[in-house]
Amino acid sequence: MSQQAVLDELANAVQSFDSDKVMDSTKKALAAGIDPSVIIEQGLAKGLKIVGKKFEDGELFLMHLVAAAEPSQKAIKELLEPEFKKRKGERKSAGKVVLGTVAGDIHDIGKNIVGAMLIAAGFDVHDIGKDVPADEFLKKAKEIGAQIVCASALLSTSLPVQSEIVKAFKAANMRDKVKLVFGGAPCTAEWVKEIGGDGYAENAVEGVNVIKHLLGTK
């Protein structure tokens, strides 16, 4: 099997929404001696792009996008990142993103969808879960050198934590190093402006566009 055939198989595996197939094909690609960045770009990302296009065309649903992104993320984290480390290289991505649902809130479905969309768009996504205090967003952003922090809130009572995140980044002199993007049902563009955030997105598709715009890649 040629390297191209192995990569094509991987891209097809992504479009099959089958985690086992994605993992097997990724292993096969590594065994064939293909560079991990090529495996991502010409295998996983290629498959994700096709799924993304079909979603935009209304042919596939949001669930398909998540079902393609999750196995791809798993293959990157479990199989490819260890390879990058071994080779002392670093994964090229569209950007490093810290993603979480704020403290006092355990609603994370929207956050998970945003995560899947970002993965599908080639971002290196670090999901720090739900009920996350402002300091944890800061800590993770520092640790990985994030360009973007995304924080979601679904309750009007947890919404103010978004403002605490802005304050935490200011206090740590990190405000100009990281773009802060906010969302969630009670969150509005006016609110994000009021608390001094950088971006607001009312849905996951828009979120990816806002982030690309903030990074100057769109």
Residues interacting with other proteins, by CB under 8 A? 58, 61-63, 106-107, 109-110, 113, 131, 155-157, 159-160, 185-188, 190-191, 203-204
Burial of 91 (0-12, 13-18, 19+ CB in 10 A): middle
Half-sphere exposure of 27 (CA within 13 A, CB side): 9
We find the least distance from the C-beta atom of residue 186 to other proteins, in angstroms, to be 5
Q: What SS3 state is found at 198?
A: coil
**Minimum CB distance to other proteins, residue 23 (Å):** 24
Is the CB of 14 or the CB of 161 nearer to other proteins?
161
Between 6 and 137, CB nearer to other proteins:
137
Nearer Cβ to other proteins, position 45 or 187?
187
Question: How far apart are CB 47 and other proteins at their closest, in Å?
Answer: 20
Cα–Cα distance measured from residue 199 to residue 201, given in angstroms and rounded to the nearest whole number: 7
* Torsion angles phi and psi, residue 93, rounded to 5: -140, 170
Q: Which is nearer to other proteins, 17 or 191 (CB)?
A: 191
Do 153 and 121 meet the contact criterion of CB atoms below 8 Å apart? Answer: no
Q: Which is nearer to other proteins, 108 or 124 (CB)?
A: 108
Helix axes 160-171, 134-144, angle to 10 degrees: 50
Write 23-29 long-range contacts (CB < 8 A, 24+).
23/71, 23/74, 23/75, 23/78, 23/79, 26/75, 26/79, 26/80, 27/79, 29/3
Nearer Cβ to other proteins (58/216): 58
Please, what is the minimum distance in Å from the beta carbon of residue 10 to other proteins?
Answer: 26
* Through-space distance between the first and last CA atoms of the chain, rounded to whole angstroms: 37
Minimum Å gap between C-beta 25 and other proteins is 26
Nearest-approach distance from CB 161 to other proteins, in angstroms:
10
CB-CB neighbours of 154 under 10 Å:
22
